[in-house]
Amino acid sequence: MQTMTDQKLAIHGGKPIIPSDLTFKMWPEIGPDDEALVLASLRQSSHASGPHVKLLGEEFAAWNGNKHCRPTNSGTSALQMCVAGCGVQAGDEVITTALSWTSSATCIIHHNAIPVFVDADWETMHIDPKCIEAAITPQTKAILVVHYFGVACDMDAIMAIAKKHDLAVIEDACQAHGATFNGKKVGTIGHAGAFSLNQNKNLCGGEGGFFVTNDQAIFDRGCAIGGFSDMRPADSGRDYHTHGLGWMYSTTDLNAAFALGQLRKLDKTNAQARANWHQLDDLLTDTPNLIRPYSTEHRPTNGYAYILRVDPAYAQKRGVALTDLTNAISLASTAEGLPLSRANWLLPAHTIFQVKDAYGKGSPWSDGHCKRDVDYNLDQYPLAQQCVDTCLWNVFKHRPPNGEAQIQAFAGAIRKVFENLDDVTVEQK
């Protein structure tokens, strides 16, 4: 790729490297097959748990290799079903990563249990297995790992710790459809798993999710809280009796029909997303001060997101705060025609954990079931914090139907900004 060092940055009045007539196409691509399924759903009469919901659950279970799969209305609800299914109860502790989307922790609180965060590994940005054992207490019941950014966690290490301490493992695979660990698909390695069908996931149904497991008892307990807490025996008929607290987490036939069309081409769209991801990665090789995302032969990306990080050593050398530098890169890249997002994914920093109040009056930490003063001091998560401070990402622009032209433009904008990083003005807060 041609070097960009002689080009003036667009934030300083230079010409944006991405031409204004280049369009990044939206995800997902909708074809006549999707339209036919959605019309078929409308033209039949079971609009709640109808035939497409049944097909979607069966086909995803077969695709992923799970015995049981319940389509849900979101990944968040599927995660709560995992927590309930694994027998976690009020005041029990669940260990999870400090770096994730909020639902990875709030799903634990939704079941009146207590999240305990551990730091992330710098290289992968996943939960660091080395930190897990120190966080285990007599109240710990499960480890909830997040296959963040479409790459599997170190499942051998995590499963070994879980086995040694008799803990359940819940896989948050909401971003990771088709990601594998040593050839095994995520969502089949731990005791239960959750996927999301939200718009920006590799499998889009608008909104929706899957609760998966190979264990009948976990499945029954999880499904019960997702269906008004319906714990009646399978042969008892509908007795309209509430045996415990539950929610309504079903999806609709129309949503399921949309997701089904996308599922049937998921192998193809995943392969395209991966190929684009790798092409982008190749084009960005040796870009100065850029840390490219993790993906290896044993833990390959599913092509979900291309996550960029600026080398913290560069910020230190320039004497600027890492987060200020990352903000400045985001502005410079946007000016070149490539908006990049930032977010504070450091979960323990969120107000709910800092004030320890989810339901009011300090509940569930104050309910009496929580046996100790769980510490959410942010000094415990330096690497997760560093990931947040340096992370920039885009989840759509490398996905199909985008191809060669868009990938070249994406790489060109990043290379131009990073090759001229000394010229990027950093506003110090």
Ligand X SMILES: Cc1ncc(COP(=O)(O)O)c(C=O)c1O
**Residue 270 Cβ, how far from ligand X at the closest point, in Å?**
17
Choose the stretch contacting ligand X; rule: CB under 6 A; options: 70-78, 120-128, 225-233, 338-346.
70-78
Residues 6+ apart with CB under 8 A from 219: 67, 68, 70, 85, 211, 213
103 binds ligand X (CB under 6 A): yes
Q: Which of 209, 292, 312, 317 is nearest to 256 (CA)?
A: 209
Q: Which of 186/424 has CB closer to ligand X?
A: 186
Binding mask 173-212 for ligand X (x = CB under 6 A): -xx--------------------x-x----------x---
Binding mask 209-248 for ligand X (x = CB under 6 A): x---------------------------------------
What the block records as the tokens of 14 is: 């230079």
Active site residue 8: no
**Residue 149 Cβ, how far from ligand X at the closest point, in Å?**
9
- Can you name the residues that pair with 185 across neighbouring β-strands? 180
Q: How far apart are alpha carbons 211 and 77 in whole angstroms?
A: 8
Candidate list 41, 74, 251, 394; residue touching ligand X; CB under 6 A: 74
Q: How far apart are alpha carbons 192 and 37 in whole angstroms?
A: 29
Q: With contact defined as beta carbons under 8 Å apart, do 272 and 404 qualify?
A: no
What the block records as the tokens of 195 is: 């996927």
Q: How far apart are alpha carbons 79 and 66 in whole angstroms?
A: 16
| Phi, psi (degrees; rounded to nearest 5) at 220 | -65, -45
400 binds ligand X (CB under 6 A): no
75 binds ligand X (CB under 6 A): yes
Q: Which of 204/413 has CB closer to ligand X?
A: 204
Q: Binding to ligand X (CB under 6 A): which residues in 159-178?
A: 172, 174-175
Q: How far apart are alpha carbons 301 and 276 in whole angstroms?
A: 11
Q: How far apart are alpha carbons 275 and 263 in whole angstroms?
A: 19
Candidate list 24, 101, 117, 381; residue touching ligand X; CB under 6 A: 101
**Helices 51-64 & 253-263, crossing angle to 10 degrees?**
30
**Residue 179 Cβ, how far from ligand X at the closest point, in Å?**
12
What the block records as the tokens of 158 is: 């995590």
What residue number has its CB nearest to ligand X? 75
Candidate list 97, 104, 394, 420; residue touching ligand X; CB under 6 A: 104
Choose the stretch contacting ligand X; rule: CB under 6 A; options: 68-76, 115-123, 377-385, 413-421.
68-76
Q: List residues binding ligand X (CB under 6 A).
A: 74-76, 100-101, 103-104, 146, 172, 174-175, 196, 198, 209
* Active site residue ranges: 201
